[in-house]
């Protein structure tokens, strides 16, 4: 296995995080400042329906970006996919949906970019450095390894790495898939409850 193959899986997780958090967390407060959501509030749908529809839209965009990265990785850097593409697609859809939910949670709660920008950084920096995206978790001190279990991006990077570099099957990544599913439920409940129309 080339070092690129190992790092590439972390880059894919980082890409989903960037698309989900930084894109939506900045865009939604800007839309609130323009009064877009205030006008939408008169429409016959709930905040939950708005959140889910936006989540589907931005999840598709994130997956298209992820697909482009994989194509470039395979063509230019000879990335070698060792696992099953079907399992990877399942994990990628769930991971993108979860990361978009984090962006919706931050952007939906924040009134303006002065609130969303610090909160985005506060959430994203631990995920970048403690999820195993760039630094292997086994190199961390033992007390820090336990903390990585509470980072939302950890099951994404672990799952991607198991499938793409270690030929893991569906049963092998069920713990990661289950953890991502739990995060999805928690994040979207919070995003709907905390959403502000203006």
When pLDDT is cut at 50, 70 and 90, the band that residue 169 belongs to is confident
Range of the domain at 11: 3-194
Number of compact structural domains in the chain:
1
97 vs 91: CA distance, rounded Å: 10
pLDDT of res. 151: 86
Share of the chain above pLDDT 70, in %: 98
pLDDT of res. 10: 85
Task: Render pLDDT for 17-45 as a digit per residue (tens, 0 to 9).
Answer: 888 888 777 787 777 777 777 777 777 77
State pTM to two decimals: 0.88
Residue in this structure with the two tokens 């439920």, named with its chain if needed: 185
Asked if residue 65 lies in contact with residue 15, where contact means CB atoms within 8 angstroms, the answer is yes
Asked if residue 190 lies in contact with residue 119, where contact means CB atoms within 8 angstroms, the answer is no
Asked if residue 113 lies in contact with residue 121, where contact means CB atoms within 8 angstroms, the answer is no
pLDDT of res. 1: 60
* Residue ranges in the chain assigned as alpha helix (H): 3-17, 24-34, 36-40, 47-76, 85-109, 113-130, 142-148, 154-166, 174-194
Mean pLDDT of the chain, nearest integer: 85
190 vs 53: CA distance, rounded Å: 16
Output the furthest CA–CA distance in the chain (Å, rounded). 55
Q: Which whole number is the average pLDDT over 146-161?
A: 87
151 burial via Cβ count (<10 Å: 0-12, 13-18, 19+): buried
Residue in this structure with the two tokens 């939408």, named with its chain if needed: 40
Would you state the structure tokens that stand for residue 153, as one six-digit string? 């991006």
Task: Render pLDDT for 154-166 as a digit per residue (tens, 0 to 9).
Answer: 899 999 988 988 8
Among the listed ranges 10-19, 38-47, 84-93, which one has the minimum average pLDDT value?
Answer: 38-47
Q: Which whole number is the average pLDDT over 71-92?
A: 89
When pLDDT is cut at 50, 70 and 90, the band that residue 96 belongs to is very high
158 vs 156: CA distance, rounded Å: 5
* Residue ranges in 110-195 assigned as alpha helix (H): 113-130, 142-148, 154-166, 174-194
pLDDT of res. 119: 85
């Amino acid at each position: 296995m080339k070092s690129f193959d190992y790092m590439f899986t972390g880059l894919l997780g980082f890409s989903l995080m960037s698309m989900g958090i930084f894109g939506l967390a900045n865009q939604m407060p800007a839309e609130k400042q323009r009064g877009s959501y205030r006008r939408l509030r008169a429409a016959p749908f709930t905040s939950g329906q708005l959140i889910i529809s936006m989540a589907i839209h931005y999840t598709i965009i994130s997956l298209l970006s992820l697909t482009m990265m994989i194509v470039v990785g395979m063509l230019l850097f000879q990335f070698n996919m060792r696992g099953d593409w079907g399992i990877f697609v399942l994990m990628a859809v769930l991971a993108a949906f979860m990361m978009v939910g984090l962006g919706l949670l931050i952007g939906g709660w924040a009134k303006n970019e002065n609130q969303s920008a610090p909160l985005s950084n506060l959430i994203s920096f631990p995920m970048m450095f403690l999820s195993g995206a760039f630094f292997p978790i086994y190199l961390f001190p033992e007390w820090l390894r336990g903390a990585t279990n509470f980072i939302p991006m950890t099951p994404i990077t672990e799952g991607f790495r198991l499938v793409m570099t270690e030929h893991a099957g569906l049963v092998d990544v069920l713990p990661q898939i289950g953890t991502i599913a739990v995060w999805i439920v928690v994040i979207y409940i919070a995003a709907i409850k905390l959403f502000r129309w203006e």
